[in-house]
Homo-oligomer: A and B are copies of this chain.
């Protein structure tokens, strides 16, 4: 059976039985839509994913991009894939009709992207970055950029990138050094960027970089960083002194080039200011929720493809016998018969489907768009980004492990997905950054309003569920509440933030338990393998993961300071 990448049945379940996405059509912006239009788009996406992106995955993993005579050459199959992605309209599916979009809910667009990511994360990456660049112009660009650049990005005529990182400015974007000097209607840029995904390629006629840089005389720090639109080729067609200086050799995502870019080596790299001077970081941050949810979706997708591969392998690979079977001439059994293999599969299922449900839950808050929903979106974003990245990596590791020695070879796919997955704990904010974002900002801002809102949302599902799982989740949520208040009351910021990593983990475990409760609520009273599997995975998560919360909470409260007090010379 071919790998289904994401389970269609699970997507249907999450959309209509858990999240009731059809009800989103009651909102004015989605009034033209219906379950039928959602399904039309999803069907096109999964067809493209399975029929076009998926067969190209291994070839692209095996033949990474190279730089020749200043031009990056990517796998030629991208020239077949790119027009198909553009035709699907994946870059602007959730954007308004006014800019050529389909005005679909994020909830639907996210899942459609999920199929494409599961099939071929690198190939989808070109589209994801282009969408991000176009959206920045749509939100903050002037009329000229919106007229001359944005439509060519959304249509796929050109591709876009996000050019943020510099050698000395990764997690600390405040330290961006690329300079911009006013020169009439444009600026002249001078500097170097690294790790620019899609930073050059031979697929589209132009590549448009959305670049963070400092206007001469700007204040130090993040309040002096501006955003510029810097095309590889200027609108009239001439080259723009923006050159690919090198290709990074990555562990995974091998089909998508990661480029070192030099701006202004000849002193004539022209960029156009996007929005107001010195507002670049705040513009980026306004886009970041979306980008972070996309990373979370990518991590779920990468774990999902590997999970389905492992289930299929475990059903067909014969090895060993039941513990009670003493006859060595009896036939070997499929390894799914071994309880320890089912453990590895069930853990993957709990992570993958719990993560997917969280992405749907979070995207739905973005679609609802009211103040309270946006507060919840904001709170859940660091979890929706980092849980799939971290636990997804474990899930991918288990997929490889289920494949035994074969899993260690590139004759099978799990090792490739494991390599792909590792990026997701690094880009769009490392896991450490998200831990600090959650504890240092999200749960405490507005006197904990977001956390209170979350508790209320969970309480509704707990009330529906009743039973021991509902009670256990309720208790865990209360534990998070008292812990957060205790930490916030301590007054010492360093001590408060000390166990931000543990806090992120325990918060994630609780939020995923909530997703499993939402799913068992939706499955209540329904029979059959699919719903039985949901109940069983929920049972697994509540029995094995939720009890970890108390230990982690105690660590956060304890002021346990082993690494805080560890001196650099002691390593």
User: What are 30 sample pairs from A and B whose C-beta atoms fall under 8 A apart?
Assistant: A165-B405, A168-B319, A170-B404, A172-B319, A172-B332, A175-B319, A194-B405, A221-B328, A250-B408, A252-B408, A315-B568, A323-B440, A323-B493, A339-B497, A339-B563, A340-B432, A340-B435, A340-B500, A340-B501, A345-B571, A397-B422, A401-B431, A404-B430, A408-B423, A536-B566, A536-B570, A540-B562, A543-B558, A544-B555, A551-B551
Q: Is A409 in contact with B324, judged by CB distance below 8 angstroms?
A: no
Range of interface residues on A (Cβ < 8 Å): 35 or more
Q: Is A506 in contact with chain B by the CB < 8 A criterion? A: no
Q: Is A481 in contact with chain B by the CB < 8 A criterion? A: no
Q: Closest CB-CB distance, A161 to chain B, in whole Å? A: 15
Q: Is B170 in contact with A568, judged by CB distance below 8 angstroms?
A: no
CA distance A320 to B172 in the complex (A): 5
Neighbouring B residues of A397 by C-beta, 8 Å: 393, 422
Which of B337, B494, B566 meets A324, CB within 8 Å? B494
Q: Give chain A interface residues in 405-452, CB to chain B under 8 Å.
A: 405, 407-411, 415, 418-419, 422-423, 425-427, 430-432, 435-436, 440
Q: Is A336 in contact with chain B by the CB < 8 A criterion? A: yes
Q: Is A563 in contact with B343, judged by CB distance below 8 angstroms?
A: yes
Closest Cβ neighbor of A530 among chain B residues: B570
Q: Is A529 in contact with B569, judged by CB distance below 8 angstroms?
A: yes
CA distance A390 to B157 in the complex (A): 47
Q: Is A522 in contact with chain B by the CB < 8 A criterion? A: no
Q: Is A341 in contact with chain B by the CB < 8 A criterion? A: yes
Tell me whether A493 and B324 are in contact in the complex, defined as CB-CB below 8 angstroms, given that A311-B571, A562-B536 are known contacts: yes
Q: Is B563 in contact with A346, judged by CB distance below 8 angstroms?
A: yes
Q: Is B171 in contact with A320, judged by CB distance below 8 angstroms?
A: yes
Tell me whether A319 and B171 are in contact in the complex, defined as CB-CB below 8 angstroms, given that A165-B405, A397-B393, A400-B422 are known contacts: yes
CA distance A258 to B409 in the complex (A): 10
Q: Give chain A interface residues in 192-225, CB to chain B under 8 Å.
A: 194-195, 219-223
CA distance A266 to B525 in the complex (A): 64
